[in-house]
Amino acid sequence: MPHVTSSQGASTRAVHSGERQQRLGDAVAVPIYQTSTYVFRNTQELIDYKEGRLSKGEYGRYGNPTVQVAERKLAELEHAEDALLWASGMCAITSLLLTILRAGQHMIITADSYRRTRQFCGGILRRFGIDVSVVPPGDAAAIEAAICQNTRLLFSESPTNPFLYVVDLEAIVTLAKRYGLRTIIDSTFATPYNQHPLDFGIDLVMHSATKYLGGHNDLMAGVLAGNASMIAALREAQGILGGITDPHTAYLLVRGLKTFALRMQQHNTNGMALARYLEAHPRVRNVYYPGLESHPSHAVAHAQMRGFGGVVSFEIDGTLQQTSAFIDALRLPYIAPSLGGVESLIEQPALMSYYELAPEERQHLGIGDSLVRYAVGIEDTEDILSDVEEALKVCL
């Protein structure tokens, strides 16, 4: 049976972590345990289970062996004591916030976080009497100024979406300890290949496992990772809230994670190459990629990240229509939301994510008509660059 240690590399851990137990039929691949409930051989076994002397399954909403393998693998990749899978990234974050916050409390979220997360915090949480402040990412002074007597939680993405600001994790943890706050980082864009927030003292890390962790645009799941006691409390809440991951999804996630480290190497390579190419192009106004020295978060990113991922946001020197024409002229990426899969995906946020807003509302949020978010896949680097070059020639 392979033995995995914390000193081994990311690829070794992605392949073997969480799979050290004996399997039915001695299968190499983790089986899909397609069951909704689990049997007890007799009443005494039931009593032993209820009194904590026996660890086993009881009912599908409280756990599944295939899901547990995925959770153990993700925990080891994230340097966490435990991890908990959810039905989606949004399910993970909404369930978390509803579980740990109560009426009369206050949380802080950084701007440029995922739009649906901000909508949940600014809309639904407020209905439950929970106050929310939005502050600029990377501005420790603004974060500290927003802290109130009833503040309990600080939440940020790092890197953020779509401008890829990177939060100074050490500064965040220092502030949180000073004021007794819990800290949560959505590390979806970074992945546990490029960044380990828990190593800096962050309390919980969240991922949309739909993205880089699954890696093939064929599943939806979310994960929270942290210390065992916090995950145990959230697991108890999940049994009530019900946002579980099914065994088929967990199997796909485990299979996708086998090549996680290899995929991330190519995502990192392609992201950096595309960002450097775009920055040098005369018809591109701005490029947002933390691997570039021109990005405002470059120093922080360089200090705390291994690589910078496969998402590159940029603004071309053109109108809304010209930007759409550029996207339509590309041959490799699919026009679609999401990111982190082996296939390149591209979107014009003004149309894909903010279409219902008036132009002035989009501008207020920093979403210009010519903004493009390119989530590069693992295609050959030169093919991606030549495709972009030809599309820019045609449309600008």
Q: Which residues are catalytic?
A: 61, 114, 186, 211
Beta bridge partners of 134: 109
- Pairing mode, if any, of strands 106-110 and 151-157? parallel
CA dist., res. 122 & res. 142, Å (int): 18
Residue labelled with tokens 């590309």: 330
174 phi and psi, to 5 degrees?
Answer: -60, -45
SS3 assignment, position 222: strand
Cα–Cα–Cα angle for 16, 204, 239, nearest 5°? 80
CA dist 116 and 229 (Å) reads: 28
- Concatenated DSSP letters of 280-330: T-TTEEEEE-TTSTTSTTHHHHHHH-S---SEEEEEESS-HHHHHHHHHH-
Ordered DSSP codes for 127-170 = HTT-EEEEE-TT-HHHHHHH--TTEEEEEEESS-TTT-----HH
* CA–CA separation, 89 and 12 (whole Å): 26
